[in-house]
Chains A and B, each alone.
Chain A
Amino acid sequence: MATTVHEPPRVRPRKLPSRKQGTGSGGGGWRDRTPSDGSFLAVGDRSTASKTGVWVGLAAITMSFAALTSALVVRQGSAADWQHVTLPRVLYLNTLVLVASSFTLEFARRRFSRLAFLGSGEATASPLRWLYVTLSLGLLFVGGQYAAWLQLKSQGLYLATTPSSSFFYVLTAVHALHVLGGLGGLIYVSSKLRRSALRKNTLDAASHYWHFMDILWLYLFLLLWVKL
């Protein structure tokens, strides 16, 4: 590519949303791509940093869990002290709850895009309601995981009892921490939505993260079910 000769910028010129004078933000670029008047028409913006950020973060999380998985496999093979642990029953219920929360979040997202399409700033109640349902399901999941720990504890299986119980606690706790982070994201999203200041990309980013937590749990559940 002979880019030494003069040529126009290679990026397709973007249509920037019209800027209002005097909003204080001055420059061009991403700074102005937030809905400045509460209208969701401007919501279909192109500032994708939050989405990219979530994908990059998910790559790191994947790597961490890959490391823990390989640790589990190596540890299981390294000595004969691996003991079978029967998974607490409540985990099946938790799995259902988490999967259901993904669906309710999708409902919220559908309703939000329809809202954005119609361009009305008032009828935020419907997606918000689904967001609240998702939030409560998420909380229920974390509570359910806690119940699972209590069940193991009542069987006399603590963190250091056997290597398999160690891995059970570590994997579920690390996953639950990430779910709590996702809950924080959902709270942020719903507070934005209440103020009609939610960008579609923020909601997309939060829901990608949430669905990933769902898939990650299914994977972990399978791993624990096969290996413990």
Chain B
Amino acid sequence: MDETSRASQAAHHAPPQGFIRNYIFSLDHKIIGKQYYGLALLAVLTGMVLSWLMRIHLVWPNSPVPGLKWLAHTSAPNGVITPEYYLSLMTMHGTLMVFFVLTNAPFAAFGNYFLPIQIGAEDMAFPRFNMMSFWMTFLAFCVLMAALFVGDGPPISGWTAYPPLSAVGAVAGPGQGTGQTLWGLSIAIFCIASLLGSLNFISTTLDLRARGMTLMRMPLSTWAWFITACIALLAFAVLLPACGLLILDRLAGTSFFVPANLVVSDQIQPHSGGSPLLWQHLFWFFGHPEVYIAIVPAMGIVSHILINAMRRPMLSHKVIIYSLMSLGFLSYMVWGHHMFVSGMNPLSSLMFSFPTLVITIPSTILTLIWIGSLYGCKLRITSASLFALGFVSLFVSGGVSGFFLAQPSIDVLLHATYFVVGHFHLVMGVAAIFGVFAATYFWFPKMFGRMMNERLGKIHFWLTFVGAYLIFMPFHYLGMAGNVRRYSAFVNDYLQPLLPVHRFITIAALATGAAQIIFLYNLIHSRFRGEPAPQNPWEATSLEWTVPSPPPWDNFAGKIPVVYHDPYQYGVKGATGDYVMQDSPQKIPTVPEEGRR
């Protein structure tokens, strides 16, 4: 091999050779996508078990949990969860779910796998960055898991890690030592990984589209990943320095966030003049866009799947794209709505309240387009489309409660109560997870070359859908009754009548969690024993269905497609059936539908 051809291979990778290059340190975006999916699965299972432990502790505080004695013998003596261990579970649950599940699964996992294929590229623009991005995420995960098992207690300051509690160190009680430092380190590593990933997504979308793949011809899922990458790039770029400053406050004795004259455990702290609100501003400047990092990909995926199930394009392709863009843009102007009672200038509360309410406009437009497009369609009910429809329902349910929280005068009552917990679990957590489920049922055949079991999929949907409502709807009631969140026990007089509601929620959570075994079984069983999947099982139009299932290592086996059509040519008389593939040079004789503006 001469110098130059080696150089050209250094720029873009050759077919992988050997097990390690193939499956572990792979440069292939498809393997990296699957790795992200696997990591998200691991994280979601861990996070779910942690939430079970929390729910059990809230309802049966003194009963030992089998096996916990060995897992956490200092934090949970004899398997009975201590108040500080409850807070650790809560911190870990939040961090795992927000970062390692809601950021990784809909965005990094499916985006990595399908964005290059959907735009007709052979790989990401920077495969090496891509590999680095996954392995740094994995490292961040390991560091976070280490924080759960350190000797002086896992971190307890929540996924928001407000200083001074998170910054003054071990003097502030258990969980504020090594565990909290590891938490900050893990998040900082995660930030770098996400920045690399977003950079890759943006460059790939802008530069590696196949011929004829104009921006407006990109599928909605690709659009959503692209917009999400833009949001993530700017959001994580702010969280990273914030984490750095927090770690310096903890380890180097600086005073960025810790003010003077704090008396913790009767000792004056050696800090001076820092601003706890500064962390809140930096954190929520990242934190609110993070919500959209979770939900925008799910919106794109759901649109993509719904269109396929409805056998018609959305009423308007462009309006969806512009709505997603405005969501992304507005998400940067509303961070202060997390801080209405934080002591921020009350005028700023109003300034932040208005754009928060305005965000409902693009959200409503999206919802109306989804529901309006259902009118007069030929809906195919599959597991994937059920989860996509479930997403719309959950998004509405979680969205309307945002009305309450967006107004500072009402937020004063509901802030930091279970109302908020119910709101964000529905609209960000469960809705985005439904997007992930829909994506899994839809794309599994392409990823693994085998079909998933539809019957089990539908059972899984109904159990999860009903379960999610049973768990999270009562949260709103609890919140309105003033039930404060992040309490490891309810000792207040006025909370006693609410305990039966908590018991109900715990039982619903355990049952709904158990129902996920059906999904896991379906996933593993179908991976090895499922029906072999054809190239295009859903009669879909976008480029990922023009290649074999699973695709070859360079996606298109050397033949980069040329794109002739908009992504969703359904409801037209095609060569086979009612659709025309994006790369089909076939002419489409008439405009079948109005409204494709």
Asked if chains A and B are in direct contact (CB within 8 A), the reply is yes
A31 contacts the other chain (Cβ, under 8 Å)?
Answer: yes
In the complex, residue of chain B having the shortest beta-carbon distance to the beta carbon of A167: B256
A37 contacts the other chain (Cβ, under 8 Å)?
Answer: yes
Among candidates A2, A67, A159, A195, residue contacting B248 with C-beta atoms closer than 8 Å:
A159
Taking the closest CB of chain B, its distance from the CB of A209, in whole angstroms, is 13
A25 contacts the other chain (Cβ, under 8 Å)?
Answer: yes
B587:A160 contact, CB within 8 angstroms: no
Taking the closest CB of chain B, its distance from the CB of A70, in whole angstroms, is 8
A5:B282 contact, CB within 8 angstroms: no
By the criterion of a CB under 8 Å from any partner CB, how many residues of chain B are at the interface?
76
Kindly state the separation between the CA atoms of A10 and B557 in the bound complex, as whole angstroms.
24
Please report which residues of chain A, range 168-223, place their CB below 8 angstroms from some CB of chain B when the two chains form the complex.
170, 174, 192, 195-197
B503 contacts the other chain (Cβ, under 8 Å)?
Answer: no
In the complex, residue of chain B having the shortest beta-carbon distance to the beta carbon of A53: B203
In the complex, residue of chain B having the shortest beta-carbon distance to the beta carbon of A25: B8
A48:B207 contact, CB within 8 angstroms: yes
B117 contacts the other chain (Cβ, under 8 Å)?
Answer: no
In the complex, residue of chain A having the shortest beta-carbon distance to the beta carbon of B199: A56
| Contact A60-B234, Cβ < 8 Å, known A3-B566, A29-B122 | yes
B3:A64 contact, CB within 8 angstroms: no
B4:A28 contact, CB within 8 angstroms: no
In the complex, residue of chain A having the shortest beta-carbon distance to the beta carbon of B282: A67
A47:B253 contact, CB within 8 angstroms: no
B252:A159 contact, CB within 8 angstroms: yes
B588:A5 contact, CB within 8 angstroms: yes
Kindly state the separation between the CA atoms of A64 and B194 in the bound complex, as whole angstroms.
14
A47:B207 contact, CB within 8 angstroms: yes
In the complex, residue of chain B having the shortest beta-carbon distance to the beta carbon of A74: B278
Kindly state the separation between the CA atoms of A80 and B259 in the bound complex, as whole angstroms.
11
A143 contacts the other chain (Cβ, under 8 Å)?
Answer: no
List chain A residues, Cβ under 8 A from B240.
64
0 or 1 for each of B550-573: is its CB under 8 Å from A? (1 = yes): 000010111110111110010010
| Contact A6-B564, Cβ < 8 Å, known A27-B122, A57-B199, A63-B237 | yes
| Contact A197-B7, Cβ < 8 Å, known A9-B211, A31-B122, A71-B256 | yes
Taking the closest CB of chain B, its distance from the CB of A19, in whole angstroms, is 11
List chain B residues, Cβ under 8 A from A147.
none
A174:B596 contact, CB within 8 angstroms: no
B223 contacts the other chain (Cβ, under 8 Å)?
Answer: no
By the criterion of a CB under 8 Å from any partner CB, how many residues of chain A are at the interface?
61
In the complex, residue of chain A having the shortest beta-carbon distance to the beta carbon of B212: A9
Kindly state the separation between the CA atoms of A206 and B138 in the bound complex, as whole angstroms.
29
In the complex, residue of chain B having the shortest beta-carbon distance to the beta carbon of A68: B241
| Contact A166-B254, Cβ < 8 Å, known A38-B4, A79-B272, A81-B272 | yes
0 or 1 for each of B191-229: is its CB under 8 Å from A? (1 = yes): 000010011101110111011111011000000000000
Taking the closest CB of chain A, its distance from the CB of B131, in whole angstroms, is 15
A156 contacts the other chain (Cβ, under 8 Å)?
Answer: no
A24:B238 contact, CB within 8 angstroms: no
In the complex, residue of chain B having the shortest beta-carbon distance to the beta carbon of A166: B254
Taking the closest CB of chain A, its distance from the CB of B29, in whole angstroms, is 14
B199:A79 contact, CB within 8 angstroms: no
B399 contacts the other chain (Cβ, under 8 Å)?
Answer: no
Kindly state the separation between the CA atoms of A118 and B206 in the bound complex, as whole angstroms.
31
B110 contacts the other chain (Cβ, under 8 Å)?
Answer: no
List chain B residues, Cβ under 8 A from A53.
125-126, 199-200, 203
0 or 1 for each of A83-96: is its CB under 8 Å from B? (1 = yes): 00000000000000
Please report which residues of chain B, range 567-595, place their CB below 8 angstroms from some CB of chain A when the two chains form the complex.
569, 572, 586-588, 591-592
A196:B241 contact, CB within 8 angstroms: no
List chain A residues, Cβ under 8 A from B217.
3
A49 contacts the other chain (Cβ, under 8 Å)?
Answer: yes
A154 contacts the other chain (Cβ, under 8 Å)?
Answer: no
A34 contacts the other chain (Cβ, under 8 Å)?
Answer: yes
B559:A196 contact, CB within 8 angstroms: no
| Contact A60-B237, Cβ < 8 Å, known A31-B122, A71-B256, A74-B281 | yes
B233:A78 contact, CB within 8 angstroms: no
Among candidates A10, A48, A163, A196, residue contacting B255 with C-beta atoms closer than 8 Å:
A163
B260 contacts the other chain (Cβ, under 8 Å)?
Answer: yes
B355 contacts the other chain (Cβ, under 8 Å)?
Answer: no
A4:B8 contact, CB within 8 angstroms: no
A226 contacts the other chain (Cβ, under 8 Å)?
Answer: no
Taking the closest CB of chain B, its distance from the CB of A99, in whole angstroms, is 25
Kindly state the separation between the CA atoms of A75 and B255 in the bound complex, as whole angstroms.
9
A64:B238 contact, CB within 8 angstroms: yes
| Contact A56-B233, Cβ < 8 Å, known A78-B273, A163-B255, A195-B3 | yes
A79:B126 contact, CB within 8 angstroms: no
Interface centre among B214, B241, B566, B596, by most chain A C-beta atoms within 10 angstroms, is B241
Please report which residues of chain B, range 377-429, place their CB below 8 angstroms from some CB of chain A when the two chains form the complex.
none
List chain B residues, Cβ under 8 A from A197.
3-4, 7-8
| Contact A170-B248, Cβ < 8 Å, known A56-B199, A64-B237, A80-B273 | yes
| Contact A74-B207, Cβ < 8 Å, known A4-B591, A56-B199, A68-B241 | no
B275 contacts the other chain (Cβ, under 8 Å)?
Answer: yes
Interface centre among B210, B255, B572, by most chain A C-beta atoms within 10 angstroms, is B255
Among candidates B236, B237, B248, B569, residue contacting A166 with C-beta atoms closer than 8 Å:
B248
List chain A residues, Cβ under 8 A from B200.
53
Kindly state the separation between the CA atoms of A2 and B591 in the bound complex, as whole angstroms.
8
In the complex, residue of chain A having the shortest beta-carbon distance to the beta carbon of B275: A78
List chain B residues, Cβ under 8 A from A196.
3-4
List chain B residues, Cβ under 8 A from A49.
125-126, 203-204, 207-208
Kindly state the separation between the CA atoms of A170 and B259 in the bound complex, as whole angstroms.
19
B21 contacts the other chain (Cβ, under 8 Å)?
Answer: no
Kindly state the separation between the CA atoms of A49 and B210 in the bound complex, as whole angstroms.
14
In the complex, residue of chain A having the shortest beta-carbon distance to the beta carbon of B229: A56
Among candidates B5, B245, B587, residue contacting A170 with C-beta atoms closer than 8 Å:
B245
A52:B256 contact, CB within 8 angstroms: no
0 or 1 for each of A1-20: is its CB under 8 Å from B? (1 = yes): 11111111111011000000
B274:A79 contact, CB within 8 angstroms: yes
Kindly state the separation between the CA atoms of A107 and B481 in the bound complex, as whole angstroms.
71
Taking the closest CB of chain A, its distance from the CB of B457, in whole angstroms, is 33
B564:A9 contact, CB within 8 angstroms: yes
List chain A residues, Cβ under 8 A from B245.
71, 170
Taking the closest CB of chain B, its distance from the CB of A7, in whole angstroms, is 8
Taking the closest CB of chain B, its distance from the CB of A53, in whole angstroms, is 4
B73 contacts the other chain (Cβ, under 8 Å)?
Answer: no
Among candidates B241, B256, B560, residue contacting A27 with C-beta atoms closer than 8 Å:
B560
A151 contacts the other chain (Cβ, under 8 Å)?
Answer: no
Which residues of A line the B interface, CB within 8 A?
A: 1-11, 13-14, 23-31, 34-38, 47-49, 52-53, 56-57, 59-61, 63-64, 66-68, 70-71, 74-75, 78-82, 159-160, 163, 166, 170, 174, 192, 195-197
Chain A to chain B contacts (Cβ below 8 Å), 27 pairs? A1-B216, A2-B591, A2-B596, A6-B587, A7-B564, A10-B214, A11-B214, A25-B12, A27-B558, A27-B560, A29-B560, A49-B204, A53-B200, A53-B203, A56-B199, A59-B237, A64-B241, A67-B237, A67-B282, A68-B241, A75-B278, A79-B260, A159-B253, A160-B253, A160-B254, A160-B255, A174-B244
Known contacts A26-B554, A174-B241; 9 additional CB pairs below 8 A are A2-B596, A3-B216, A29-B210, A30-B122, A56-B203, A70-B281, A75-B256, A79-B275, A160-B253
